[in-house]
Chains A and B, each alone.
Chain A
Amino acid sequence: MANELIEFVLVSVALLAVGIYGLSVKRNAIRMLFAIEIIVNAANLNLIAFARFMPEAHSGGQTFALFSIAIAAAEVAVGLSLIIVAYRLYKNIDIADFRSLKG
């Protein structure tokens, strides 16, 4: 291996930090979804990195990452449709406006 495990893990930490920043600062619902995607991808990168460097895991790490990617796709579909519903109710995507469930 040309690269070491620690480098991949540090990139993953940086992505996690960027994602946390986005989640805590942004009020735009779609941007918060971007931040969630970035965090999920940082987690997947960690999974694959550790799977590569621990040969006793065989293909388990990669399989788990594949499941994780598929579940993330389902989550995005539901999240986007929730944003569409909220936009239809409030005519806005600012989460500070989403105050009541009734609309």
Chain B
Amino acid sequence: MADKIDGVKLALLSNRLEGISRKMGNTLMRTGRSGVLNIARDFSCCILTADDKLAAVAESLPIHVLSGPDMMAATMKEYHPDLKRGDAFLHNSPYHGCSHPADHTILIPVIDDDGIHRYTMAAKAHQADIGNSIPTTYHGTARDVYEEGALIFPAVKVQENYEHNMDIVRMCRMRIRVPDQWWGDYLAMIGAARIGERELLALGREVGWDTLEAFNEQWFDYSEERMVGAIRQLPAGSATRTSTHDAIPGTPEEGIMITSTVTIDPDGGEVTVDLMDNPDAQPCGLNLSEACARTAAMVGVFNSIDHSVPKNAGSFRRIKVLLREDSVCGIPKHPTSCSAATTNIADRVANPTQAAIAEIADGFGLAECGAIIPPAVGVVSGMNDETGQPFVNQVFLGLTGGAGAPEADCWQSICHVGNGGLCYQDSIELDELRQPIFVKTRTFAPDTEGAGQFCGARSAYTEFGPRVGNLDIAYVSDGGINGPKGVRGGLGGSVSGQYKITRNNEREDLPNCAVVTLVAGELISSQSCGGGGYGTPTERDPESVARDVLEDYVSAERARSVYGVVLDAVGKVDAAATTKLRTEMTA
């Protein structure tokens, strides 16, 4: 047993591990080939201990890493008990800990000079294509994994002694629509994980593996203590909130209602999220993997408390997530499809969880973030007539969805609750260069914010279509009926919507889940969900309302009717009239 590690060394070593995961993330970001990776930053890197506990995470998509990598690392060990330096494993099985099949993950065991497995490095990246039966990585209507069509890799060895297993590479190249892009992304993941391995080996040699083992446990204890401290700031209580995913083919007509019951126990220093009371798995691609069900609940909790609590296996000890087997948001059984597990239903778990905490504890929690995936964030594909090459890529043109918070307005471009806003938004020029599309407009839609003392996001409004030839756009847009709700008196954010604009400039309604084919001259219109507001709109600082009006986000009429703020002819707050109106409104 190594010496007890003091607070100084604890800080030093945690910085070192974080630095290593950051370095992995930088490598992945800079070298990836698909837009979803190198533009939308839909990837994550983390470090797990030899006993599969999450130790360090670079700034990564929340839905990717809180829970899941632990299960994946355990699967790797179970299937390959004799791990050797130079091994690498490809993992995307939602039945074995991966988030969803589109998230190819490279796992690399870090083996010390004596052959002992010390850590596992994980680099996960959403792929542009994974060989699904249709050209999208979110096959929302797939009845099961067979209709979904993804190649599933339950921790399959792809490198031995640092050499690729070209059999597997060739299999992927035969099935994945953009084989060169996939190969580039695969190399980027391998590179990231190998860089992490190299650094960690150096760290182990420098400080000693025993010291690192001791560090792991104390780091978890420290993080747990911070978590307890954060939970003790909240009052005791329990609340149940629901959130309903709009109906799509394969779901009941009324959609899928998710119920989350949150119980806060400050004395015990624990938060429980109960997801047991939910529908069975559905014959569609929306079911959650176990990783996403757990993580979504945890995202809801971490969004609600002191953000500086470290996210690792130590703080996780203080969150209990209750899941049921074969539930739409529980533990799925093969061949249930989990194609869109990171987004749609996952959001319907995280949102009511954070909203429930807001209802229990004023000054904590978060309103609901908007749902996705609208057409402006869909997968576009087709044949590029100018180059003769097929293309398929997810675009990130216009999305918002941020929720009002206890002390601040939303972060507009949160993307969706499981993304945390890390996602980039595409450059119009870059998108028009990469594929033959034309983006007519991308702007904020007026009067669409989730009004509150602190406001949720406005909708992003986008129109785009093919510049030449045909364009297929695949999307699964939730939130057209069930928009993001506000909390503590805050109003809901605007709902999503989409329609086609014909060459004659006529509107044609489109379903919320489809693959739409457009010809040159036609456009698709996409409106993203806004986000819910936190607190009553009539409590909002009148100067903030005046600024929103001046900036042309909010009409003077809405300022009056929703916020109770009266502006004079030059847009300044009429304080007396505002006080009077607000008194009347709250009477």
Asked if A and B are interacting partners, one says no
Residues of A bordering B, CB below 8 Å: none
Residues of B bordering A, CB below 8 Å: none
